[in-house]
Amino acid sequence: MDYRRLWVVIDRRKAVYRVKSKPIISSAFDLQIKPVFEKLNETSDIRDFEIPTLNNEPIKEAYKRMYLMTSMDFAILERGKLKTKAVSEDEVFNAVLQAEILNYININAGETISAVGDTSLLLLKNLIKKLVPQILDEGASGGGAVTMLRDQIQSAWHEMKYFRTERITRTEVNRAANWGSIKGAQSLDYEQNKVWISAFAEDSRISHEQANGQKIDLKESFTVNGEQLQYPGDPAGSAGNTINCLCSTYMEIK
């Protein structure tokens, strides 16, 4: 089998969801930082300004939208490849799958979502610590200093948001797609194998390239870089083994 060509086909499909997910994540970051600007509007002296508590709900809702969209479609697609059951059963499958996706987010993405919020808070605190002395050294004060601080926070946040959005959508869309494909395959009464398809990209991990073509039972775990993974991006793996991963899975009847 030509795994390179297969990966290209699957990744092109995932790319559609990466494009769809980027504005969702980007908007969530904008909502997350909104309290910072609201508090700045009430500040008269930037020396007294402190970062308020950030709300992680926008990030959680963004993850929910991204997973419901990606996992659902990839599961339905995988199921459709081999489905011979009555169409009426699709409605039951879709309802069960949606519940499983929401449960998956609560269990497996909870820590990730919290980490995203913690990272935002840390980045903003470090940014304020750096910017306030610079603005004061320039002789700005009062409303002028507040305006300068707001403008510089917006500029820096825009840049940080871009890179974080890229990393999150790359990681999470891949994770959601692979998990969805597994769930779609598991819904069918066939004995199947799953195959690890390495990402044929310049920045692919050597251990992931070595896993290319690894074939196991659908219920078993891949062994990649010494870790047991149900699929590429499996949150059971370490960050170093899953973040920015673009590998795919391919299912075949035994």
pLDDT in tens, 96-146: 889 999 999 888 888 888 889 899 999 999 999 999 999 999 888 888 999
> Residue 236 domain-assigned?
no
- Give pLDDT, residue 109: 81
Given this model, what pLDDT does residue 177 score? Answer: 97
Examine residue 16 and state whether it is found in any structural domain, yes or no.
yes
| Mean pLDDT calculated for residue range 159-171 | 95
88 domain-assigned? yes
Residue 251 to residue 196: CA distance in whole angstroms: 9
pLDDT for residue 44 is more than 60 = yes
pLDDT confidence of residue 87:
46
At a CB cut-off of 8 Å and minimum separation 6, what does 149 contact? 40, 46, 49, 128, 131, 132, 135
Which residue range(s) make up the domain with 72? 3-188
Interval 37-53 mean pLDDT = 92
In a domain, 130, yes or no: yes
Q: What is the pLDDT of residue 89?
A: 67
Helix (H, G, I), strand (E, B) or coil at 222: strand
CB contact at 8 A, 6 and 199: no
The pTM for the full model equals 0.90
* Tally of domains within the chain: 1
